[in-house]
Amino acid sequence: MSVDQIPNAGLLEYEAVMVGDKPTVTSRTWYHWLLLTAVILFAAVSVGFVGTIFWSSFPTWAHHGFTLLTGKGWVSPDGPFGGLAMITGTLETSLIALVIAVIIGLGTAISIVFFIPRRFRTVVATLVELLAAIPSVVYGLWGLLVIAPWMEVTVNPWLNSWPFAKGIFGSPGQEFGTSLLLASVVLGIMILPTFVAISREVIAVVPQDLMEASLSLGATRWQMIRQVVLPTAKIGLLGATFLALARATGETVAVALVAGSVANAQFHLLYPGTSIAAWIATEFGESQGKEISALMALGVLLMLVNVCLALISRALVNRQRRILAKV
Amino acid sequence: MEQEIEIMTEIKSETTQVVTPAVRGAIAMQLNNVAVAFHGRVAVRDCTFDVAKNRVTSLIGPSGSGKTTLLRALNRLHDLTPGAKVSGQISLEGTDIYRGNLTVTELRTRVGMVFQRPNPFPTMSIYDNVVSGLRFNGIKKKALLDESAEASLRSAALWDSVSSRLKVAASNLSGGEQQRLCIARALALDPEVLLMDEPTSALDPIATLHIEELMKTLKSRVTVVIVTHNMQQAARISDDCAFLLMGEDRAGELIEFDTTEKIFNNPDDSRTLDYTLGRFG
Amino acid sequence: MSDLIELEELPVEAEHSMREEIRRVSERMRGRRVATSRVMVALCGVALVVAAVPLVALLYQLFDKGLSQIDWSFFTHLPETPTIIAPNATGGVSNAIVGTIALTIYASIVAIPVGVLVGVYLAETESKLATSLRVVSQTMAGAPSILMGLFAFSFLVHDLNIGFSSIAGSFALAVLMLPVIIISTEIAVRNVPNSLREAGLALGAKSHKVSLKVVLPSSITGIVTGCILAISRAVGETAPVLLVIGGGFTNSWQPFDPVSAMPLAIFENAKSEYPSQRAQVWGIALVLVIFVFLLSLTARIWASRKQQVRN
């Protein structure tokens, strides 16, 4: 449930209204001041949160300008600091992960809502939420110690036997178990529970009588889903997609463990790579001064991308809610 | 408003011509000892009656008497509900709809349904809504879709007001227009039977009157079965009437089935009389 | 009422031929439609299985490889660094467990009161400040957790120069927990029916008394649920603590000492060159996951208890 659906109580303005048109000082008690202190503290923290990271990144923007976005090499400890490899890595891994999660997740959500017997539905929903609660470092650990060796021995040679494999995956023999592809797959598995949980809710609130109306017109179950349920839930599903994308771009330690941690701007999926967040995590320990500032600048980038995605997702989910309120 | 009331009494006097079951003619649907249970709890039972062709049959009774449950059994909507079980026999033109040689999609194209709440598909235009049933059934020929859309919108008395804005989202229509759109949507498939589940309960009196008038004219081409809460409505529009009541074990059962005229004027069962006179319910 | 429905009947033949064509086409297409539906429904089922396989495999391997690592000394001993002579000497992980508990407690001490108070404020007032803080907390709730680490580093470790420490890590975790607590508190408080508030005010109570004595007790389950979920998130987070806690090798409860944490130990040792250390990581992961699951389940039980009370 979202906050926006429940009306504001306005209890704390009650006495102000009783006293007069304007809130008067006499109506404020110690409790109001306590609340206000906490609010100011939180406001200060959130301003400090954004401000400090921006401020620490300032030297980098001043010295290197936008080469941070376009430069290819990353040389510790004095630069130049090019973020292209991290940016492309983030894009590649999170988009592939998104495709995996959306295709599998949509089918899963549909199955949970329509085809699983009702008494198992709560169990499955609880399970999905528990899976979403598994710390990302555990997914990373599993990817690194279980999937990476398997990829190296079994999957990679098989992928390399595909036509055009060299263009997509890179030259045979140079690929690794830990790679952009592995990072994408692990990310996809990680964001799957989040996507399923939200899209399940979005699909479940499509009004029952719309579905019955389509069935009463002779639609098959799939026609009902494809032509009535999914279009009605479309915007909310898009919101879920953006939220999943936001999670994928911000994911840090799992990618740091399984992507291979190499700052190399390229598109071969079986070569090692990194992402913005993962690079901050892997480099931070050994960096000082200028490099820290450059990593902070990457953090600014990450923050901007994430805020945009989060706002888009929020707007979409709210719009879906308004649409359904009208139905 | 006075004029309206006059019209209503006129309608009533038309429908109250004495028609005995013997001269009711062909039968569209036959119910034989039908019962519906959810997870073993019986919701409605003992329903045996015939739905006569090209007449309006109303199901009346207090809430909880299983009217809607019974109606939904007629186009197998309970198939969706886990734990629902329909027993007894329901046949459409002599074919058993649950066990006979009739797929559920075919049944539903032949037995249409209009719901309590006007529910046009929110993502579709007026036109797309009307032809949605045809499209579900695989009809793609533009000429046929256009022709059928116009015919069914005319039958639902909606053509004149929407013909110029067919591509507009259906949610822009008023409640009464939306309900007529839903009727047009069901009519586009040219069903033999049209089920209506309290189709006017969400509408204002004027829109209700429009829909009632529409039903009377529709029966020349389609058999109508309507659930209604409103006894005056049942008296005004229906030819036959089934009265259901909740039994002592909270399961609805059929008390009496006859022509509307008899049910409202001279019922066999005293409970029917009590209900129609408004002594309970 | 002259505009009341004028019916225009189609010619009977035209209508008849149309019905024929509709029935014919629909008859012809039915088999294919039903088959398509079956295939797509089956594909959805396949998607469910595909989604379940890696997640089930992950849980299975976690228990399979993790259980054997856990014994008494796992919890009580400090870690040792394996050498070529003693490649299996991994010791225990008591420092990481102590560190995680310390970090979580310190973070909760700050985040829970502040978060609850801010949540109450957002729920009970209507102002521009409240609206903007609501958007801020919702955006922060989804922000990548490494940013909290960057914040804690530049503010505490760098600017205030307090060094890599437990307190810096708790600060990062507190910033992470705050929005979660704020949002769930606001929802819980708003969910309290207004009639309760009005009843209190009608009895002549001041608004702060009503808030403290009526509204907060009625929303306590929702608030507690939110706090537990926030804690369970904080316990498992690696990225924010990775940058600031310094990875200490002692069991320290001191706020200004460098400490370790379970997620950090997993992250560091997963890349170890010693198989014994890599194996031990599964044990830490298992303990961590059980910890997180227990917290999530507790939160769920609280939430369902709340619903029972409602009903």
Is residue A21 pLDDT above 50, yes or no?
no
pLDDT of residue C98 exceeding 60, the answer is yes
The CATH code that applies to domain C94-310 is: 1.10.3720.10
Q: Give burial (CB, 10 Å; 0-12/13-18/19+) of B166.
A: middle
- The Cα-based distances of C95 to A16, A176, C259 in angstroms read 53, 34, 7
* CB proximity list for B42: less than 8 A, separation 6 or greater: B35, B36, B249, B251
Structure confidence at residue B70 as a pLDDT band (50, 70, 90):
very high
Q: Could you tell me if C114 lies within 8 Å of chain A, comparing CB atoms? A: yes
Per-residue pLDDT tens for A91-133?
999 999 999 999 999 999 999 999 888 788 888 888 888 888 8
Tell me which residues of chain A, numbers 232 to 291, contact chain C at a CB-CB cutoff of 8 Å: 243, 246-247, 249-253, 256-257, 277, 280-281, 284-285
Q: What stretches of chain B show up as alpha helix (H) in DSSP? A: 2-15, 67-73, 104-110, 126-136, 142-155, 159-162, 175-187, 205-218, 231-237, 260-265, 270-276
- The pLDDT, as a whole number, for residue B20 is 42
Chain A residues with beta carbon closer than 8 angstroms to that of C296: 129-130, 133
pLDDT 10s digits, B10-69: 333 333 333 344 445 788 899 999 999 998 889 998 899 999 998 999 999 988 888 999
| Confidence at residue A242, expressed as pLDDT on a 0 to 100 scale | 94
- The pLDDT of residue C107 is 95
The amino acid present at A192, given as its one-letter code, is L
Is the per-residue pLDDT at C306 higher than 70? no
| Region at A289 (left for phi over 0; alpha for psi -120 to 50; beta for the rest) | left
Give the pLDDT band of residue A50 (cuts 50, 70, 90): very high
Q: Do A218 and B136 touch (CB under 8 A)?
A: yes
Report DSSP state, residue C205.
Answer: -
**pLDDT value at C311 more than 60:** no
Provide the pLDDT for residue B14.
38
pLDDT tens digits, A10-20: 666 555 444 43
Helix (H, G, I), strand (E, B) or coil at A273: strand
Confidence check on the interface: ipTM exceeds 0.95, yes or no: no
Q: How confident is the model at residue C105 (pLDDT cuts 50, 70, 90)?
A: very high
What are the sequence ranges of the domains in chain C? 11-67, 94-310
CA gap A170, A164 in Å, rounded: 10
Q: How many CB atoms lie within 10 A of CB C224?
A: 21
Judged by DSSP in three states, B138 sits in coil
**Could you tell me the end-to-end alpha-carbon distance of chain B, in angstroms, rounded to an integer?**
27
Residues of C in contact with B213 (CB under 8 A): 4-5
Give the residue-averaged pLDDT of C159-188: 91
User: In the predicted model, is pLDDT for residue A145 greater than 60?
Assistant: yes
Chains near B, with 3+ CB pairs < 8 A?
A, C
Do C48 and A107 lie within an 8 Å CB cutoff?
yes
Mean pLDDT over the full length of chain C:
85
Is pLDDT at C310 greater than 80 in this prediction? no
Q: Above 70 in pLDDT, residue B201?
A: yes
Distance of alpha carbon B162 from alpha carbon B9, whole angstroms:
30
Which residues does chain B have within 8 Å of residue A326's beta carbon, measured at their own beta carbons?
122, 171
Nearest CB neighbour to B137, from listed C10, C15, C29? C29
pLDDT digits (tens, 9 = 90+) for C134-155: 989 988 988 999 999 999 998 9
For residue A139, the chain C residue with the least C-alpha distance is C58
Tokens of A224: 């009902």
pTM of the complete model: 0.85
pLDDT of residue B19: 39
CA distance C233 to C104: 10
As a whole number of angstroms, the distance between CA B117 and CA B171 comes to 13
> pLDDT tens across A192-246, in order?
999 999 899 899 889 988 999 999 999 999 999 999 999 999 999 999 999 999 9
* Start-to-end CA span in chain A (Å): 19
Query: Whole-angstrom Cα distance, residue A179 to residue A151?
Result: 9
pLDDT in tens, B244-255: 998 888 888 899
Top-ranked range on mean pLDDT: pick from B101-105, B273-277, C228-232 = C228-232
Please determine, for residue C260, whether its predicted confidence score (pLDDT) is greater than 80.
yes
Mean pLDDT (chain B) is 85
Q: Phi first, then psi: give them for residue B51, nearest 5 degrees.
A: -95, 115
> Helix C166-190 and helix C94-124: axis angle, to 10°?
40
Mean pLDDT score of chain A: 85
Domains of chain B: residue spans and CATH: 2-16+26-276 (3.40.50.300)
Examine the pLDDT at B7 and tell me if it is beyond 80.
no
